[in-house]
Structure 1
């Protein structure tokens, strides 16, 4: 090997990023130390094998296999263009490693494509940063105690639902829920038990709605349900189901005592003249009517 070739191979071998070459048949002809470190596969494990043998089993976050169906190396050789993709390779130990992949065609002196080079880098830090951003975004719309949406999420979803109603006549309903005599629970058993009651109520609500419906912790012991694609009978049915299931739920104290609560609900459908505030006010008024009529009731109109 000539000194210049030795220099460049040493340079490639010592790059932090993984680098490998493949010929037109996708047979791997070079594998650097960076590739060994990221994948756990030594050069002797892969050189002479075809990347289409799916050794690294690159896949997207949705499980789509790139090596068999949408290989960036193949696309580079077919199009003569650089390609870039985010993927998850299978480490020699079996776990998945997020990587950023860049591929480029390799030409001979006659300008013919004779193979391609792939450079890939461990993308874990970027993925962790994205996940952290996603978590922060989610936490901005999530009630910390119950895991339900908060008022900020409610504002966003209500604005979208109202726009959909005005543009497409897609009706939706609201149900305002309040735990009956919640202050008495806090006074009798303490705030820790009160928090458990709130979580129990939230979990019961969340587990028994359709995926399209949106549960919100409105504040204190109040909850809001945004029920999409609703008519009066379906809105009433959802509200009544939640009322009955909460009534039949309880938490167990260390003393062996069971603590349960009931809820009062006001439910209403969007009307042509409504804005968000008028809709909320009507649901709130109906909820208090349920309380005035004895609690543990649904009032719907």
Structure 2
């Protein structure tokens, strides 16, 4: 059997999982092709770098950074234990990617730890997303910039979803999402950079959602998410997870990183809701988030503050079908 180093490298490069090695100083010594595909970073970008340089910027679902004080690689190098954990890495294009990773120690011929190996897989429903995009493109229902379903698609789809909800009693959650201070991004960096920010946000929403859920670009810097079969508490948790993931994503501009936050309105469908009433309520809740400080989720504000937090008349939602 062939057992040259080149043979093993060829095997590793053809693995579905991302694989990389570090030495005892957490310096990256090997980076396979799948690691490049999942993260966007080539071997030229990372070889010789230390993982604690925050290349992948691993965070958990609460937004806690793991690269500095709770790095699985560092812990395994210290105690020799294998670890498995689910985190979110920072893609080279700025968005967050959910991953499952396993870290194991590497030992020399004397049994001493000489490094570690991390194997990770992409947890996002990429195949379902790509199939959905291809199908919708044929019907002109995809936003050309972000590749998310567009407003036309949601206006067509939501009445059917609500009809199914009324028949079966499944709860439907709606997230109305606005990118905070987006006009400042366009004014400071130009519309090309603004477009990249919108794609970063869209990718984070799409990649980290369930295959059954729908996120669309409503228009401008606004997005709408339809989340199936959730309670109000679950919807609030999901909304905050997206808020954290986008808030910890960044667009690399060379000497600086561009970050944005989200204001989100979240609501659960009610028995008498139609498409317009459901979206209007979510929109008003989103605007409440903006008026009360931005970078937050509003799902049930105080009534007196809710009546004040209405979108200016010139920005009201258009009447929808359904």
User: What TM-score, normalized to structure 1?
Assistant: 0.54
Equivalent-residue separation in structure 2 for 1:289 and 1:280 (angstroms): 14
- Cross-structure match for 2:263: 264
- Per-residue deviation at 1:156? 2.3
Change (3 A) 1:199 1:137: closer
Partner of 1:157: 157
CA contact (8 A) 1:290 1:299 kept: yes
The 2-side partners of 1:135 and 1:212 are apart by 15
The aligned counterpart of 1:294 is: 293
**Offset at 1:138?**
3.4
Cα displacement string for residues 91-131 of structure 1 (whole angstroms, at most 9, x for unaligned residues): xxxxxxxxxxxxxxxxxxxxxxxxxxxxxxxxxxxxxxxx9
Question: Quick one: distance in 2 between partners of 1:200 and 1:273?
Answer: 36
Structure 2 vs 1, CA of residues 136 and 279 (structure 1 numbering), >3 Å: closer, same or farther?
closer
Correspondence for 1:283: 282
CA distance in 2, matches of 1:263, 1:298: 8
Post-superposition offset of 1:137: 4.9
Q: C-alpha displacement at 1:135, in angstroms?
A: 5.9
Matches within 5 A, 1:193-272: 193-254=193-254, 256-272=255-271
User: 1:147 & 1:292 partners in 2: Cα distance?
Assistant: 30
Consecutive unaligned residues of structure 1, counting only runs of 5 or more, are 1-130
Q: 1:170 to 1:260 in 2, by over 3 A?
A: same
1:184 and 2:184 matched: yes
Distance 2:136 2:274 in 1: 30
Contact 1:175 1:267 in 2 (8 A): yes
Residue 160 (structure 1) shift: 1.4
Change (3 A) 1:238 1:135: closer
User: Is the contact made by 1:178 and 1:265 (CA closer than 8 Å) also made in structure 2?
Assistant: yes
On the 8 A contact 1:209/1:238 being kept in 2, the answer is no
Structure 2 gaps, min length 5 = 1-130, 301-322
| Secondary structure at 1:148 match in 2 | coil
Judged with a 3 Å threshold, the aligned counterparts in structure 2 of structure 1 residues 135 and 175 are, in CA distance, closer, same or farther, namely closer
User: What's 1:61 paired with?
Assistant: none
- Is 1:142 aligned to 2:139, yes or no? no
1:124-161 Cα deviation digits (max 9, x unpaired): xxxxxxx9xx7675351111000101011111221111
| Alpha-carbon distance between aligned partners in 1 of 2:222 and 2:140, rounded to the nearest angstrom | 19
Distance in 1 between the 2:188 and 2:202 partners? 21
Count of aligned residue pairs for this structure pair: 168
> In the superposition, relative to structure 1, how do residues 135 and 267 fare at CA in structure 2: closer, same or farther (>3 Å)?
closer
**SS in structure 2 opposite 1:241?**
helix
Which structure would you say has the larger Rg? 1
CA distance in 2, matches of 1:206, 1:172: 18
User: Matched residue of 1:140: which SS?
Assistant: coil
TM-score, with normalisation over the residues of structure 2? 0.50
Go from structure 1 to structure 2 and tell me whether the alpha carbon gap of 1:137 and 1:200 turns closer, same or farther (over 3 Å shift): closer
TM-fit CA distance, 1:170: 1.6
Pairs within 5 Å for 1:46-85: none
Deviation string, structure 1 residues 200-250 (Cα, Å, up to 9, x no partner) = 000011111111110100000000000011110111111000000000001
Q: How far has the Cα of 1:166 moved from its partner?
A: 1.4
